[in-house]
Structure 1
Amino acid sequence: MAIPRAAQTQRRTRIQEEKEELILEAALEVFSQRGFHGSTIDQIAEVAGMSKPNLLYYFRTKDTMHRALIDRVLENWLEPLQAFDAEGDPEEEIRSYIRRKLEMARDFPRESRLFANEILQGAPHIEGVLEGPLKSLVDEKAGVIRAWIAAGKVRDCDPYHMIFSIWSTTQHYADFDVQVKAVLGIGHDGVDRFEAAARFLETLFVSGLILGDKNA
């Protein structure tokens, strides 16, 4: 995990913590718009309203700022999948997962674009995370889905592609939000678009996957 330079001192002051947050907020704005390679420390310092030397006291490199943000994104992004409960009702678990992913697309669009840019660049900063903790978590939850299939609660399907499908359909509303709003048009481009998306995706996945009286 990336550690800010100031955090390595014995006593971090409230001002230091506030400065770090200010810098990371500025870095998130710049990285999400320009990508890692298109961003510079000068741009981040300008958005943060700080001098470059002052910024470099807290974060020595652009890479350190980027990794700190990626670490946060991964922690938040994995939380909904971690909450996928093997003991829960499959329909309710799938509905809940879809809604939580859409809430993240609604509330954290810059973080989503930051992550998408990292993946499009070949994940140079997080390849180990993708092949390690992320893969382990997805393997675990794929096992949960297989158990539901074996119990006759969910249709036979590839659990990995089920998870990928939920990722792609929900994150679309963050990464392609400009397109979504443009196509929906005036009057349909407010935050209610996320509720409409949630209802559609719940119907799509529940009707396609859940076995039982409702989908017999």
Structure 2
Amino acid sequence: MTLTVPAHAPDARDKPAGRIRQKNEEAILAAAEEEFARHGFKGTSMNTIAQNVGLPKANLHYYFGNKLGLYTAVLSNILELWDGTFNTLGPGDDPAEALAGYIRAKMEFSRRYPLASRIFAMEIISGGECLTAHFNQDYRSWFRGRAAVFEGWIAAGRMDPVDPVHLIFLLWGSTQHYADFATQIGLVTGRKRLSKQDFAAATENLVRIILKGCGLTPPAA
């Protein structure tokens, strides 16, 4: 099973006005990620984001309503990427192929979108007030459905018995670590930034460690 990493933006619109709006929204979201990751929600100014993106402040309010709306959009973007990728795992998949594909996709998100991941981490650490609506009963039902996929594989003897909930936490934490704690990794390794090759090596290490812990043989990259 091969997972692809979707674009970190909405689909293109057909009409010229729609394409202009999409371009503006993408530029605003990118500038917002930079500011929210550097200063947090409270320390970020809509004026600064507008200046950085080269648009009037009124445009930001037109597209996103207010600062909270923009902040929520940044959080929603990364959650849609993460959750959308997790949705592709199904009972009929080969567990080793599916898990390896998911780990590789999540690590690619950490490499390509580290700022959004850090903003999410900061929001969770601060109490997750802005994510209350997201983590509702529907989300908990969705999460149980994801855990049920692993339970099915275990019941069928296709992987070793492990607690699916804690396995999911391990998958999330280990892959997001490379975005959220990039500074610590850099200080320990003596590198300013991990290269694409570094990420590839780290990814395959995670694949081997996690899959072997589940009694699975890691598939070739």
TM-score bracket, shorter-length normalisation: 0.7 to 0.9
Q: Is 1:180 matched up with 2:185?
A: yes
Aligned to 2:88: 83
Max Rg structure: 1
How many pairs does the alignment contain? 202
Q: CA deviation at 1:131?
A: 2.7
Q: 1:125 is matched with which residue: 120, 123, 130? A: 130
Q: 1:139 is matched with which residue: 132, 138, 144? A: 144
Structure 2 segments unaligned to the other structure (5+ residues):
1-15
- In the TM superposition, what are the counterparts of 1:185-204 in structure 2 within 5 Å? 185-186=190-191, 189-204=194-209
Structure 2: which amino acid aligns with 1:129? H
Q: CA deviation at 1:105?
A: 0.5
Aligned to 1:7: none
Aligned to 2:104: 99
Structure 1 segments unaligned to the other structure (5+ residues):
1-10
> d(CA) in 2 for partners of 1:33 and 1:205?
32
Q: 1:161 is matched with which residue: 145, 166, 169? A: 166
Q: Is 1:66 matched up with 2:71?
A: yes
Structure 2: which amino acid aligns with 1:154? M
Q: CA deviation at 1:104?
A: 0.6
Q: TM-score normalised to the size of structure 1?
A: 0.83
Q: Is 1:113 matched up with 2:118?
A: yes
> d(CA) in 1 for partners of 2:57 and 2:34?
17
CA-atom RMSD in angstroms: 2.3
- SS of the aligned residue for 2:61 comes to helix
1:178-210 superposed Cα distances (whole Å, 9 cap, x missing partner): 221332235993221211111211111121112
Q: CA deviation at 1:88?
A: 1.0
Q: 1:208 is matched with which residue: 197, 213, 216? A: 213
> d(CA) in 1 for partners of 2:136 and 2:60?
32
Contact 1:82/1:137 (8 A) holds in 2: no
- SS of the aligned residue for 1:64 comes to helix
Q: TM-score normalised to the size of structure 2?
A: 0.82
Q: Which runs of 4+ in 1 moved over 6 A?
A: none
Q: CA deviation at 1:163?
A: 0.4
